[in-house]
Chains A and B, each alone.
Chain A
Amino acid sequence: MDLDDTPEQAAYRAQVRSWLDEHKSEAPILQGPGAIQDEDEIIAARRVWQGKLAEGGLAGVTWPKEYGGQSLGPIEQVVCNQEIGRAGVPGILDAIGVGMLGPTIIAHGSEEQKSRYLAPLLHGDEVWCQLFSEPAAGSDLAAVQTRARQQDDGSWRLSGQKVWTTNAQFASYGLLLARTDADVPKHKGLTMFIVPIDADGVTVRGLRQISGEAEFNEVFFDDVSLEEGAVVGGVGNGWGTALTTLMFERVTIGLGSEGMGYNSNRFAGAIAADEHARLDPEIRHKLGEIASELLAVRFTGYRTLTALQKGQIPGPEAGLAKVTIVSGAIKAGDLIADVVGPDALSEDSQWAYMISFLPGLKSAGGTEEILRNTIGERVLGLPPEPRLDKGIPFSELRSKEGAPA
């Protein structure tokens, strides 16, 4: 039992570190003195930096070499992430494109699509966004209603709405899941498309959250024209293609930084700073309960890595870690606000931002309830909830819900 690199991993780490040592002065400064302030300039600088990371082999670590990647495994990806964090430089701007959407195109796209889109994606020249979720299709993703209808000339017309779209405000393309046949059961009538965000009829609108900031967008499609070659993975195969993306999403989240900054040391620091709170038994007890679970998540991450290193699929602990992190951080935010008082809720407070962000995060990437269903069924082997949508054409299902298909 150890937390050490294997000799191969150590060699790879040294290689990444030496590249970063050589190039980190070229990285954009996003925090502290000399930080870039203008939002557009930040994005522009991060695009350039992503291009440099790609040149250095630090973006697309797990991508095949023929598409500009390194053909390495998840462990190397983690090592790379750790070293980027350690160097204190920004990571890649388009983590969703490189982590999830590019790999989907590699798996299901045509040769033409691969040669057209992958290189600019990897280098940050064209940022991508994921157009899956809708106002009425989140946990039940196969219920998407955005409709694509094929025209006589083979092209498509697209109408509908997507939501929770990160990076859409500066994206060039989106990978979009649309319904192409409403007269078959819902998982069967779906198709995946590549959509240019600058196409006529596409509207991107920032979606402000509790904090007042807009981290996500709504994207509207009003009779948008798509060429025949925009289909990824074949007409009617959209669900299978989407599952590939979601699998890469889980991997990306699983290999991400430790707990998104929600860790026991950060929270303990806030309590330690108050000389009364740090000696208050009730505060300490609450902190101890929260911190124990967050410490567990750290080692759950190491267990996941061990499994990956052995070529195994990570166990249920990986999925449950998200529940622990979010619920732990919610309790920690509450505790810290109790200790600090209303100042914790001032607009420029890191705690106010965290407290505002967490209620939504609870549902991100699948609600806690759906996650618990999945784990209960796949890991504990419990029977699924009876479903009323199996084998029923989507149009019929919609009319049962009292709405037009």
Chain B
Amino acid sequence: MNLALSDEQVFLREAARGALSRFKTLEAAREALDGNADAMPDLWPTAKEAGWPGLLIDEDHGGAGLDAFDAMLVLSECGRVIAGIPLLGHLPATAILSDAPNSAGDLDDLATGERRAAYLPAQPPTELDERWTADPASGLARAALPVAQAGGEEGRISVTGSFAFVPDAPGADLLVGAALLDGKPVGIALAADAGGVSIEPVSRYDATRSLGHVKLDSASAVLLDAPEESLAAAWYLAQALVAAESLGSVETALDVSVAYAKERFTFGRAIGSYQAVKHSLTEVLRQLENGRSLLYYAGWARNGAPEEFPLAASAARSVGGRALDEAARTMISVHGGIGATWEHDAPLYFRRAQLSRRLLGGTGQATDRVAGELIAQASRG
């Protein structure tokens, strides 16, 4: 039994914390919300220097050959300071390409970060919706996955359709995901500047989160020879990464709230001595610890029990999303009025929480997936 960080993992985490501490990410997030588009620091060079773009790419292609759990550690550190680094888009894309022998040539540049990829999120079927689906531009109904047609050059297909709210799509060099070919999901990779590809940058509520609506109009894509399981695994990897990032934000929200509860006095006592305040902070801790345990579950399952990875990653996403909402709201209420003002950092965490919970299927889809996986397990007996 060993569910503890290795020395290398502790080092990876500490190095990430150190590298990110050189930037005023929170100030930048606030300025960007005020309309200063140039306020956000470009953290990609830092990511490149640290080797994060190649975390999941094997060493033969210049990557670090590490695992999902290591990537989660880095994402947690990004979440702690709400750093806008395009890893959420890049890492699942590299995971698909690593499973596609015919795209191995792309990996070297992606490992160093010379080129950047973005994952086109495709949700695997559920008991309630038996299609592969994409996130819709609005509303509750899931969108159909873009459709591919054979034709053109050998090994290439032509794809038409759209993906809404794709993390880190603006500025990416390569788009990697799934489309339907003859009704079956297949892996696709497209150059962002190819004909028929349009990426509309969109910003919603949280200026640190780069998103894009991707439209494909008979766009020429490489037909990846990645197996269907790999396309599904990328979705769950993205779920686990959002979970890790959210729980990193929870850590900071809790630390800041606890510090304030110790130093702010009312009626002659620190407010943290009141049960009402103390218990709401322990509730955040409870959800954080549950989330951390599920990150271990997801990290272990990805290789140790791949058939449980959908359950583990979805559970982490579900708990992580709720934990961040709770943590951000508690942060605001513990701080009293000041917590709800522009001067304070709490609104930045609140904004992060509200948007993150609605991306990549939202926590709702992840929660439904947990139920679906367990019901399926029960039915198998």
A265 and B378 within 8 A (CB) = yes
Which residues of B lie under 8 Å from residue A380 when comparing CB positions? 254, 258, 272, 278, 281-282, 285
| Contact residues of A: prevailing secondary structure | helix
B104-112, B156-164, B191-199, B294-302: which lies at the interface: B294-302
B375 and A300 within 8 A (CB) = no
B374 and A299 within 8 A (CB) = no
A384 and B273 within 8 A (CB) = yes
Given A381-B258, A385-B275, A292 and B319 contact (CB-CB distance below 8 Å): yes
How many angstroms from the CA of A94 to the CA of B6 in the assembled complex?
A: 39
Select B371's contact among A4, A284, A381, beta carbons within 8 Å.
Answer: A284
Which residues of A lie under 8 Å from residue B128 when comparing CB positions? 279, 281, 284
B3 and A292 within 8 A (CB) = no
How many angstroms from the CA of A383 to the CA of B269 in the assembled complex?
A: 9
Min CB–CB distance A226 → chain B (angstroms): 39
Min CB–CB distance A270 → chain B (angstroms): 8
How many angstroms from the CA of A399 to the CA of B369 in the assembled complex?
A: 59
A15-23, A156-164, A316-324: which lies at the interface: A316-324
B3 and A303 within 8 A (CB) = yes
Instruction: Please tell me if A369 contacts chain B, counting CB pairs below 8 Å.
Output: yes
B2 and A1 within 8 A (CB) = yes
A382 and B367 within 8 A (CB) = no
Instruction: Please tell me if B127 contacts chain A, counting CB pairs below 8 Å.
Output: yes
- The 0/1 profile, CB within 8 Å of A marked 1, for residues 248-259 of chain B is 000000100010
Given A288-B371, A383-B262, A373 and B1 contact (CB-CB distance below 8 Å): no
A279 and B127 within 8 A (CB) = yes
Instruction: Please tell me if B379 contacts chain A, counting CB pairs below 8 Å.
Output: yes
Q: Which of A274-312 contact B (CB under 8 A)?
A: 278-279, 281, 283-285, 287-289, 291-293, 295-300, 302-303, 305-307, 309-310
How many angstroms from the CA of A285 to the CA of B314 in the assembled complex?
A: 12
User: How many residues of chain A have a CB within 8 Å of chain B?
Assistant: 60
How many angstroms from the CA of A6 to the CA of B274 in the assembled complex?
A: 45
Which residues of B lie under 8 Å from residue A298 when comparing CB positions? 293, 297
Instruction: Please tell me if B370 contacts chain A, counting CB pairs below 8 Å.
Output: yes
Instruction: Please tell me if B291 contacts chain A, counting CB pairs below 8 Å.
Output: yes
Which residues of A lie under 8 Å from residue B4 when comparing CB positions? 1, 303, 306-307, 310
Given A284-B368, A285-B364, A382 and B1 contact (CB-CB distance below 8 Å): no
Instruction: Please tell me if A376 contacts chain B, counting CB pairs below 8 Å.
Output: yes
Instruction: Please tell me if A379 contacts chain B, counting CB pairs below 8 Å.
Output: yes
Q: Which of A377-401 contact B (CB under 8 A)?
A: 377, 379-386
Instruction: Please tell me if A152 contacts chain B, counting CB pairs below 8 Å.
Output: no
Which residues of A lie under 8 Å from residue B297 when comparing CB positions? 295-296, 298-299
- The 0/1 profile, CB within 8 Å of A marked 1, for residues 272-289 of chain B is 111101110111011001
Given A278-B375, A300-B289, A376 and B1 contact (CB-CB distance below 8 Å): no
Closest to B67 in A: A1
Select B269's contact among A2, A269, A273, A386, beta carbons within 8 Å.
Answer: A386
Which residues of B lie under 8 Å from residue A386 when comparing CB positions? 269, 273
Which residues of A lie under 8 Å from residue B266 when comparing CB positions? none
Given A295-B311, A306-B4, A385-B275, A1 and B370 contact (CB-CB distance below 8 Å): no
Given A303-B293, A306-B4, A310-B4, A285 and B367 contact (CB-CB distance below 8 Å): yes
Which residues of A lie under 8 Å from residue B369 when comparing CB positions? 288
Instruction: Please tell me if B120 contacts chain A, counting CB pairs below 8 Å.
Output: no
Given A299-B294, A302-B296, A317-B293, A291 and B1 contact (CB-CB distance below 8 Å): no
How many angstroms from the CA of A77 to the CA of B69 in the assembled complex?
A: 30
Select A382's contact among B258, B296, B314, beta carbons within 8 Å.
Answer: B258
How many angstroms from the CA of A302 to the CA of B368 in the assembled complex?
A: 25
In this complex, which of B4, B261, B286, B366 has the most chain A Cβ atoms within 10 angstroms of its Cβ?
A: B286
How many angstroms from the CA of A177 to the CA of B261 in the assembled complex?
A: 37
How many angstroms from the CA of A380 to the CA of B289 in the assembled complex?
A: 13
How many angstroms from the CA of A156 to the CA of B2 in the assembled complex?
A: 51
Min CB–CB distance A31 → chain B (angstroms): 20
B278 and A320 within 8 A (CB) = no
A369 and B258 within 8 A (CB) = no
Closest to B381 in A: A269
Closest to A289 in B: B367
A306 and B127 within 8 A (CB) = no
Which residues of B lie under 8 Å from residue A284 when comparing CB positions? 128, 367-368, 371-372, 375
Residues of B within 8 A of A (CB): 1-4, 6, 69, 127-128, 254, 258, 261-262, 269-270, 272-275, 277-279, 281-283, 285-286, 289-294, 296-297, 299-300, 304, 311-312, 314-315, 318-319, 322, 364, 366-372, 374-375, 377-379
In order of increasing CB-CB distance, the 7 nearest A-B pairs are A268-B374, A288-B367, A296-B290, A382-B272, A376-B278, A272-B378, A284-B371
Some 7 contacts from A to B, beta carbons below 8 A apart, are A298-B297, A317-B289, A317-B293, A320-B282, A320-B290, A380-B285, A381-B262
